[in-house]
Structure 1
């Protein structure tokens, strides 16, 4: 299978980036091909332009960076997004990627408020982390909001089959090395669980 892994974290040796490396290495060990799109390192511009909001029939051709990103999605069987939750949402860099790349006419069409996804036949995986414990997020209703806005509203509504949303909680700068190692094994196991023999 062909995987596109999109990751957003400004610090290259962060826990988030470590998750990305463990995940992509395991995919390759399983015999899959993967392409990593590291939004910060490539300098992706997250700012949606006025012309990108024009109807497809009225605007000029898609910007080169967006066209490349859409081609990468088109070529992939599975897309994985890896990012930390900041203020219970994705980083602005990742949100800008979604705003610009998951555009009307490419990822969806809508009529009278009803969205029709255009990316059917593809699978998606979400991998997130937070400082807050997951039980606290669930109890407060924040986790439900994440699932509604990110899992359902973005990915399922554009046609993806969302395989899973893997979340790592209580991630802090003081995270012991032993705990970090357990988390890295967890994401490798996740890759084996979903993609062994695929």
Structure 2
């Protein structure tokens, strides 16, 4: 059972990192092999150049990108952990997805119709926001996020089994609330690994 965790936060001791540690621990307790890709610590280059983009359509993929693609192919469960910044992924995570989810790997286009190639994968996202979730829901932001960041992108790549959890008011809550969130993230992960392992 392979669990790939892709994490994006520049602070070494962020609450996002605490989420990563919690779900990694719960995965190992389930007997899973955990691979963590800490994009900031990796100093991952998020810039998709024109040359790289054109090369990807010809099957020319850099070795470091092929490595990330292989990790995704090997994974039974893929987890993204990130703060929501300006209603989107941190730039380094967006760039990771731009460079790694290439044509011929994540999707293909035939006769003008695109088909996802990452079928059968299971994905979960833990999204941290500084605002209040009820306010996001009132404004419809949560639905917009699900349509774009969660379902839209990954459905296009063939991933249909997706869950996401938003943890809100991160800068306002106390330690007890944080511990509750860490436990919730661990429990969700355990359940998802259990489904994978059936």
TM class by smaller structure: over 0.9
TM-score (norm 2): 0.92
Q: Is the 8 A contact 1:110 1:116 kept in 2?
A: yes
TM-score (norm 1): 0.92
State how far apart, in whole Å, the 2-side matches of 1:96 and 1:125 are: 19
SS in 2 for 1:5: strand
Residue from 182, 185, 197 that aligns with 2:180: 182
- The CA deviation at 1:58 is 4.1
Note the aligned Cα RMSD (angstroms).
1.7
Q: Which runs of 5+ in 2 are unaligned?
A: none
Q: Which runs of 5+ in 1 are unaligned?
A: none
Tell me the matched-pair count. Answer: 196
Q: Is the 8 A contact 1:123 1:162 kept in 2?
A: yes
Q: Is the 8 A contact 1:151 1:162 kept in 2?
A: no
Q: Is the 8 A contact 1:137 1:143 kept in 2?
A: yes
- The CA deviation at 1:98 is 0.5
Q: Does 1:99 align with 2:98?
A: yes
2:43 — aligned with what? 43
Q: Does 1:142 align with 2:141?
A: yes
SS in 2 for 1:42: coil
1:68 — aligned with what? 67
- The CA deviation at 1:110 is 2.8
Q: Is the 8 A contact 2:57 2:104 kept in 1?
A: no
1:126 — aligned with what? 125
- The CA deviation at 1:67 is 1.2
Q: Is the 8 A contact 1:125 1:164 kept in 2?
A: yes
- Between 7-16 and 162-171, the greater mean CA deviation after superposition: 162-171
In the TM superposition, what whole-angstrom CA distance separates every residue of 1:91-133 from its partner, at most 9, and x where no partner exists? 0010000100001111012356643101112111111110111
1:4 — aligned with what? 4
1:110 — aligned with what? 109
State how far apart, in whole Å, the 1-side matches of 2:161 and 2:79 are: 10
